[in-house]
């Protein structure tokens, strides 16, 4: 079997197993990771009270790090409760060493600072707070404080988290170069609003992850679970925005499945891989707006899905439609092509002639003006396009996505279909992201099933085509599998037959 990603969790042992390292272990296992632990303290606590906290010695702390490193390095590290200044300083030394010798290891810092129990016992010495940023921030990728922790660390308030105050906070956090590459995830949910928004602040970007507030009681370990889920998804190789989108979806599922154990608040549930679209967060800008137009686009006719050729000329478009293809895309890369409008007009006529769904790539103003059936846009085009105008003109809209974050961002538009890519390395264009592969594609298809039609795209040749079709997508886009074939007509017919076989369809 393939070795699972290894996640190191640095934190305290919770005897109630509601939070702490015990919650970390359950989360990592739920997400197909192998969690190894570095214990910073042992606590005596239950669902109601923290009775006692006892820190480990620096000698024992160092020994745990060294012993694990002597065997196998981690893929990601989550650091949480450090109860003493000596352990903060020791942890800083180890993270610096990891950053130098294993630069690809992702590091998440969840600054557990709560003084918090009915007994009055503290989880952390009062002298630790000021040392956390100076010692740990230079070495971490993302820090995940709640409102109280953020104020304790920085002296800044999150009482009003929308608009200019966020930008002012951003400027303050990054003004003096304290954190050269760390991002701040400022966790929401601390007020009484109907929605909760976590804000990811980078040096030049602000992104919101908004969810509906859930009225639930069993919420112990929420911070531990979110940060460990984030580290786990990063250990699986997901980029930060995708990993965070997934972690937010995971925590929503975990809150919905919390368990009543003990007289106080119980622990979160462990809902498995995030495959429920209703749990995805809404992606919003710093002013709280999403891409959504407020009106859904008409969805494609799923009976006409299957093989989806993407071609760069009217001649190729005519050829594929003549073979019985019922959905295709005209992709003309040159925006200054003097014959652009004429080619789009011909494409529209061909779609009508063959009763096919023909999408125009990128050139939405011309597509709207000439009355095209539909337009296909990439993520960068969604920022510039007049989506309301496209929808009002009656065009269908297909969008490209490259992971969970862009799926969550794009679903607010309610597009006609969602393209998922690139699945394999592609010859037709330079891609900023890594190939998704079949396993991720299967997850995306499950996530979107019965919500949005899906199209797989990117590097799909004739040999890979049946495997892609079996993942559950509604359609498979190809380029060179047709245009570079010695017998394109025969290639088209075989690909159409291969799709039908994968779906168990007889024609």
Please give the annotated binding residues, written as ranges.
329-333, 361-362, 381, 400, 426-429, 459, 479-480
User: CA-CA distances (angstroms) from residue 329 to 57, 320, 356, 375, 376?
Assistant: 64, 10, 10, 9, 8
Number of Cβ within 10 Å of residue 343's Cβ equals: 19
- Give which of 431, 425, 335 is closest to 379, Cα–Cα: 431
Q: In whole angstroms, what is the distance from residue 78 CA to residue 229 CA?
A: 9
Q: Using DSSP, state whether 141 is helix, strand or coil.
A: coil
Q: CA nearest 74: which of 23, 108, 30, 110? A: 108
User: Which residue has tokens 């820190």?
Assistant: 55
**Can you give 219-259 as a three-state secondary structure string?**
CECHHHHHHHHHHHHHHCCCCHHHHHHHHHHHHHHHHHCCC
Contact 13, 21 (CB under 8 A): yes
Q: What does the DSSP 8-state code read for residue 271?
A: -
Tokens 């308030």 label which residue? 157
Q: Do 306 and 285 contact (CB within 8 A), yes or no?
A: no
CA distance 141 to 139: 7
CA–centroid distance for 294 within its chain: 23
Could you list the residues known to form a binding site for Mg(2+), using ranges: 362, 381
DSSP lists the bridge partners of residue 432 as: none
Contact yes or no for 82/129 (Cβ under 8 A): no
Q: Are 124 and 112 in contact (CB under 8 A)?
A: yes
**Distance from the Cα of residue 48 to its chain's centroid:** 34
Cα(203)–Cα(181) distance, integer angstroms: 8
Give CA angle at 227 (241, 261), nearest 5°.
135
DSSP string for 310-359: EESSHHHHHHHHHTT--EEEE----TT-TTHHHHHHHHHHHHHHTT-EEE
Run of H or E residues at 408: helix 404-411
Contact 245, 234 (CB under 8 A): no
The per-residue b/e assignment along 421-439, b for 16 or more CB within 10 angstroms, e otherwise, is bbbbebebeeeeeebbebe
């Amino acid at each position: 079997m393939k070795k699972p990603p290894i996640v190191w969790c640095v934190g305290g042992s919770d005897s109630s197993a509601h939070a702490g390292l015990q919650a970390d272990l359950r989360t990592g296992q739920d997400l197909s990771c192998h969690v190894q632990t570095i214990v910073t303290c042992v606590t005596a606590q239950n669902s109601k009270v923290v009775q006692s906290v006892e820190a480990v010695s620096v000698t024992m702390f160092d020994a745990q790090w060294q012993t694990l490193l002597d065997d196998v390095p981690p893929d990601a590290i989550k650091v949480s409760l450090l109860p003493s200044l000596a352990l903060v300083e020791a942890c800083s030394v180890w993270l610096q060493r990891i950053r130098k010798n294993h630069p690809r290891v992702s590091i998440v810092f969840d600054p557990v600072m709560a003084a918090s129990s009915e007994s009055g016992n503290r989880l952390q010495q009062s002298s630790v707070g000021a040392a956390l940023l100076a010692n740990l921030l230079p070495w971490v990728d993302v820090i995940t404080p709640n409102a109280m922790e953020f104020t304790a660390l920085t002296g800044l308030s999150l009482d009003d988290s929308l608009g200019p105050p966020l930008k002012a906070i951003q400027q303050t956090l990054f003004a003096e170069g304290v954190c050269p590459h760390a991002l701040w995830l400022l966790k929401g949910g601390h007020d009484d609003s109907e929605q909760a928004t976590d804000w990811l602040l980078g040096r030049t970007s602000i992104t919101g992850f908004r969810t509906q507030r859930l009225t639930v009681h069993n919420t112990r370990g929420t911070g531990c679970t979110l940060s460990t889920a984030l580290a786990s998804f990063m250990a699986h190789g997901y980029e930060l925005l995708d990993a965070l989108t997934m972690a937010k979806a995971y925590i929503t599922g975990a809150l919905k499945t919390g368990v009543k154990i003990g007289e106080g608040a119980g622990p979160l549930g462990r809902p498995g891989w995030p495959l429920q679209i209703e749990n995805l967060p809404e992606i919003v800008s710093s002013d709280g707006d999403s891409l959504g137009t407020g009106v859904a686009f008409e969805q494609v006719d799923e009976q006409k899905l299957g093989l989806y050729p993407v071609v760069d000329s009217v001649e190729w478009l005519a050829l594929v439609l003549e073979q019985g293809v019922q959905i295709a895309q005209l992709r003309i890369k040159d925006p200054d092509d003097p014959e652009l409008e004429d080619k789009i007009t011909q494409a529209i006529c061909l779609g009508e002639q063959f009763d096919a769904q023909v999408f125009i790539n990128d050139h939405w103003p011309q597509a709207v003006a000439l009355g095209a059936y539909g337009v296909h846009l990439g993520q960068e085009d969604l920022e510039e396009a007049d989506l309301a105008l496209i929808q009002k003109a009656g065009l269908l809209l297909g969008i490209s996505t490259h992971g969970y974050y862009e799926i969550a961002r794009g679903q607010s538009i309610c597009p006609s279909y969602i393209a998922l890519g690139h699945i394999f390395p592609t010859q037709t264009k330079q891609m900023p992201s890594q190939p998704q592969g079949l396993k991720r594609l299967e997850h995306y298809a499950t996530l979107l099933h019965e919500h949005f039609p899906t199209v797989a795209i990117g590097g799909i040749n004739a040999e890979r085509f049946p495997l892609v079709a079996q993942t559950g997508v509604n359609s498979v886009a190809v380029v060179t599998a047709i245009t570079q074939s010695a017998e394109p007509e025969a290639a088209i017919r075989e690909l159409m037959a291969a799709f039908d076989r994968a779906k168990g369809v007889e024609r």
